[in-house]
A and B are shown apart, each in its own frame.
Chain A
């Protein structure tokens, strides 16, 4: 089976990989590049555990073909902290106990970061609708929403 050669940028680094046409960006991140922070919960875009940014847009990496990443800018959870300096959202999620099992957490953090970049002062309702594509089964969302709103307030200063 012939493979496709893709050159892309992941978390600011140029990366090359080979993939099959039907492989998704998530497949390649996890299986080829060993970036397993993006999680596979459904493969149908319904759970958001695989959320990443592609060219500054929040997407489900299970719904992007790996070949489509050619020339794109991809950002994953592995690039969210700056060295050992956690992103404010990561810190607030810890402080608010906004994760229990933690499997949805990387996707929610990526999605929440995209929200705050677009809307620095979101309402609770906006936050809930923005995160509607990120299923969490443990928390009932309460502490997640509080952590995001608290981070927003702190980042606004």
Chain B
């Protein structure tokens, strides 16, 4: 049901903290995954069981150090040990759904708590922003209400967020709505009826301008996205193309480590198969007169595309973690978009959609395999 969480003297964060606290106190949930504010102003993803700890919880912090899907995968595995909740952004939820299909996580016993997401900043930007005036929560919420980019000159949102097409956490069981609304008057929440009763909430609708503002945000993001992807595609198809884009890659595998979809225990490229003998490198070098060290950088990226581009939700964590500032996420979004389009597949939309590469039809792409 739709309800509204009362907010006292405009302190939205407090209201949310209280709400999360009550989820634990009431015993509705045994633990909740949520960022806690830590010394130095960092927001650290944590699993909270003690309601008192909720005093530091800050789901509204515009930062995403990791994609929560990985965390949830870790704490549910093939079955959640207890009644666990997780505060997640849309990109985290969609990644989580892919991981569920890949049997790396389960929604069983998990309560997803989502928020409308106006976007996040890279961790360093977030830290900078902390200090600044107008960089506070109020401004962030206002941006959400007006449907404008919370970023400001010099302090821009993560590019992935600027072009996010899923700012609303539609699949979450509990959903905090921010777009087009003034939460200081009470925070509209979508919540399962049973839970609402248990916590003693009653139905109350305050939809306001949310839909309109959401449209506006999407429009802006779509425009941004189209431009950005067009740009990166231009680069990929330019002379040198993709290889030159990855020339800066140092094969640190950060992108893979940060990627919520890359679930392998050990990446193929870290396995014995790519742990070559010295003579291998020598003969490889002899072929072209020079061999890139570490080798197979592009092969690694292409193989990763091949493994996960169908499931890529565009969270951009790869870009965020790339020390060489290669627009990895942009590239993968560009590729992913085409692969997903080919199969009419939208990652994270629903558990019902099977992964495109583990299913098939007898009578599809019948032209493929026949000489043109």
Indicate, yes or no, whether A interacts with B.
Answer: no
* B residues lining the A interface (CB < 8 Å): none
